[in-house]
Structure 1
Amino acid sequence: MSIAVEFGKLGGSLRSESASLQDVMRVHVSDEDLIEGLDSRIYNHCLNKTELTKLFNLSKPTFNKRLQEAVDNGVIGDPIYQNKTHLYTRHDIHNLKEAWGYKVYSDEYNSKVIGIVNHKGGTGKSTTSALLSTNAALDLDDYANVLLIDMDPQGSQGINLKLKSSENGDEEAVYITIVDFLLAEVEEDNIVRSYLDQGYEFNDLVNAAPVDTHLPNMKVFPAFPDDDRFTDIFSSLDYENKMSLLVAFREKIIPILKNKFDLIIIDTPPQDSPLTWAVLEAIDGLFIPVTPHELDFSSTANYALSLEKRFTELPNKGCNIEWYKFAAVNFNEVSSNDKNVLNKLIRGLKDNLMTAQLAQSELFLEASVKGCTILDLKKSQSVTTAKQFDKAIVSSSAFCSQFMNEIKRIAIKG
């Protein structure tokens, strides 16, 4: 059964169910909790010596000897001293893993590209994209190199994750978006074309464009409002050039990024537009977050049906899609309406729905305001109640774990 037919069936099934029924960069906490002047997002992910010894599975004497050698050889700098505790940042851990030759994600898994899609706004695509990306980058056992691509012209990922160059006030920073690369051959006043004319290589530009975050193994490809021009330019082209533009992401950009990143997650715009079509043509997997509200349920049914039509029209006919799942997000377990809609999603989607849900919690809003994900906050630093904090963390742990297990299933080597 083709992917188009599958989504047609799912849309019909869902429709049947429907018919039947601040300086926010820093978190101000006590000196006991935070080193003065250290970004809380970096501090919160530090490990002490005991935790590092366990991570690298070494005896204490062996670890201390190798750690001192790493300091002497300039692999890492001195630790952060907090009272009698020595703290090591994720950048230190990254450098140690690299220097000591420890296992990384790419040893066992192939690179995969996952699109977070839904044409309705407010379904949690950006929150879900950032959460899944950050969770994957934080996993020190798998240790994947993660890229979060923002394809939504609103540019929320760059805003919410406080990209490092903007954080440091680098007014000379140049941002190149995926849309800039896609339009390089059809747009005269194009930043990528100008660099190519100066002698730069396309591959080098693509590799240099992603922006650093607070995690050494996670980068973000930002988006900006003028990326909206993609639709206007696409509409002005003849059929042959339209098709060439739709496949450019898959054929020219994704192969370059897959050589560098293990997991690529794409946050898409809330619309069924040519920009989204280019994403659908390029991805390996499709992840569709749904808020379990009645209006969102009806919209999701319509979206599944629209995907049936869209995949039949795309150059690749959806043959690139190896995996897809729907997922309930912002789920309020005490709401009878949310429960009723979730039950309809279960009946309509069956195995195509994630069993784990992302719980509704005030912590997600707090994290967004503070320019991070919920995984970057400590309970002691949060103004959210302990109950709301725990609910968000527990549900996101199960949610992210199931997502990564699903991705590994299609990515495993051999």
Structure 2
Amino acid sequence: MHISKRLSNLTPLIEQNEISRLQAVIESTKTTDDINSLIIHHCVSQADAARMCGMSLNTFKDRVVEAKEQGVIDDVMFESNKYLYSLGHMHALMDWMGIPKWSDKNKGNIIINVVNQKGGTGKSTTVISLAAGIALRMNERRRVLIIDLDPQGTLQQVTAPRLRDSDASSELVLSAVDIMLGSEEKDSDYAQLIANGYTHQEILEYSILKTHIPNLDVLPSFPTDERFSQAAWMEYAKTGELMHVKRLKSKIIEPLSNHYDLILIDTGPHVNPLSWSALEACNALLVPVCPRKLDWVSTGQFLSNLPEQMSYLPSKGDNVKFFKAITVNYDEEQGRDIEMLHQIKTVLGRDVLNATIKRSSAFEAASRNYRTVFDLRKKDNLCPDRQLDKAISSLNDAIRELLLTLEDVDFSEEN
């Protein structure tokens, strides 16, 4: 039998034994108790809530009574003889009170492609850590979305999002690639939803998974997303054009422009049409760099080749308005990375953030427990307290500097 025929015969057997996406998501989805624990972890006291809203405690109490009467919030939690306000409460209250947030500045959507073709540089950890840290900044209340374009699909496991409906069996889990390829895949879930009368916008919004942080969402990926590059190359063979790379922007980013203030795109360590689609869709580049000699050599080669890659894209790279590198996994305790850090700063100059994300066992502990480091509690003893403090402190420093440098750029379409 011809090899291609034998491979074709394997297809139905593979499909029969394939673990469904729903099962994969459910396995990494937290229980109600887990979610409640994380919600409580991020709660604030009544005094802190009043301070965040910029008012006295008595005034805040009066406004809360009014908000409850109007149905703005439900009852707050009361534990250990004190009131606890969840992130959901705080978002609803601050919006109702008209407390300014980042989107009021109206400087356009920021779409950051976190990219480095060198594997093992901590891209996914960087993405989820930055996204969670930014989403937790209540003074700005940015609406944050992670688009996972790495077919390994690690981000949906780390964030462990909740399914929205109690009836999990009714859920379809679509990835960004499913939506980008859309109705051209005639037997796909996307095509079936279109046939059932759903619009593209409805399918897109339906596919986004919520997390325990109210303003942080995830559009997941799965191993089958590898087929995007194959479809793009086949189209290129027929037409001589790589039009597929425009689909992330047109089919996902633009329809969500009013839904999110900041979108972070995580790509795999590949140079292919799927990673190029992120380059075409973004307006900012963030390159994680490990201060190790071999990592820096590989990253340097990637940065040297990046302009040529961008020149082949439809936009020619004109869409990118911001570029920074960020040093990650920096080991300050052993002193072994200081020389490489100086070399990186010498070469990149102002194009590398001064703040570094430091090496810490807290990141491994968070990943093992399907959390971000911001979700870890010292009383759970998942890592040494000092390691957790170091991880959170370095992340907050990096986030603060990143956001300040982003402030200098106008990302509005008119600009």
What TM-score do you get using the length of structure 1 for normalisation?
0.87
Please give the alpha-carbon distance, in whole angstroms, between the structure 2 residues aligned to 1:382 and 1:187: 48
Please give the alpha-carbon distance, in whole angstroms, between the structure 2 residues aligned to 1:195 and 1:363: 41
Q: Deviations over 1:63-92 (max 9, x none)?
A: 111111222333222221112111011111
Question: Alignment partner for residue 88 of structure 1, among 74, 85, 97?
Answer: 85
Change (3 A) 1:149 1:241: farther
**Matched-pair contact (CA < 8 Å) for 1:24–1:370:** no
Shift of 1:159: 0.4
What is the identity, as a one-letter code, of the residue corresponding to 1:65?
D
Aligned: 1:43 with 2:29: no
Shift of 1:26: 7.9
Residue of structure 2 equivalent to 1:5: none
Instruction: Judge which range, 145-154 or 381-390, deviates more.
Output: 381-390
Shift of 1:411: 4.2
Instruction: Judge which range, 364-373 or 184-193, deviates more.
Output: 184-193
Residue of structure 2 equivalent to 1:147: 145
**Matched-pair contact (CA < 8 Å) for 2:332–2:338:** yes
Residue of structure 2 equivalent to 1:67: 64
Question: Alignment partner for residue 159 of structure 1, among 157, 160, 163?
Answer: 157
Aligned: 1:309 with 2:308: yes
Q: Deviations over 1:171-203 (max 9, x none)?
A: 332111110111115333332222222222112
Q: Secondary structure at the match of 1:343?
A: helix
Percent identity, aligned pairs only, is 30
Shift of 1:378: 2.5
Residue of structure 2 equivalent to 1:183: 181
Residue of structure 2 equivalent to 1:349: 348
Shift of 1:274: 1.1
Residue of structure 1 equivalent to 2:252: 253
**Matched-pair contact (CA < 8 Å) for 1:112–1:411:** no
Shift of 1:383: 3.0
Task: For 1:179-328, list aligned pairs within 5 A.
Answer: 179-238=177-236, 240=239, 242-328=241-327
Root mean square deviation, CA, Å: 2.4
Please give the alpha-carbon distance, in whole angstroms, between the structure 2 residues aligned to 1:195 and 1:408: 40
Residue of structure 2 equivalent to 1:17: none
Question: Alignment partner for residue 137 of structure 1, among 116, 135, 138?
Answer: 135
Residue of structure 2 equivalent to 1:371: 370
Q: Secondary structure at the match of 2:48?
A: helix
Larger RCO (CA under 8 A, 6+ residues apart): 1
Aligned: 1:98 with 2:95: yes
Q: Secondary structure at the match of 1:354?
A: strand
Q: Secondary structure at the match of 2:197?
A: coil
Unaligned runs of 5+ in 2: 1-26
Q: Secondary structure at the match of 2:324?
A: strand
Please give the alpha-carbon distance, in whole angstroms, between the structure 2 residues aligned to 1:163 and 1:369: 15
Please give the alpha-carbon distance, in whole angstroms, between the structure 2 residues aligned to 1:222 and 1:84: 40
**Matched-pair contact (CA < 8 Å) for 1:213–1:220:** yes
Shift of 1:168: 6.9
**Matched-pair contact (CA < 8 Å) for 1:137–1:143:** yes
Q: Secondary structure at the match of 1:43?
A: helix
Shift of 1:241: 7.3
Instruction: Judge which range, 48-57 or 335-344, deviates more.
Output: 335-344
Q: Deviations over 1:236-280 (max 9, x none)?
A: 113647422111222332111111100001111111111000000
Change (3 A) 1:284 1:170: same
Please give the alpha-carbon distance, in whole angstroms, between the structure 1 residues aligned to 2:63 and 2:227: 53
Change (3 A) 1:51 1:336: closer
**Matched-pair contact (CA < 8 Å) for 1:112–1:258:** no
Shift of 1:167: 11
**Matched-pair contact (CA < 8 Å) for 1:117–1:288:** yes
Residue of structure 1 equivalent to 2:19: none
Change (3 A) 1:228 1:24: closer
Aligned length in residues:
385
Shift of 1:169: 8.1
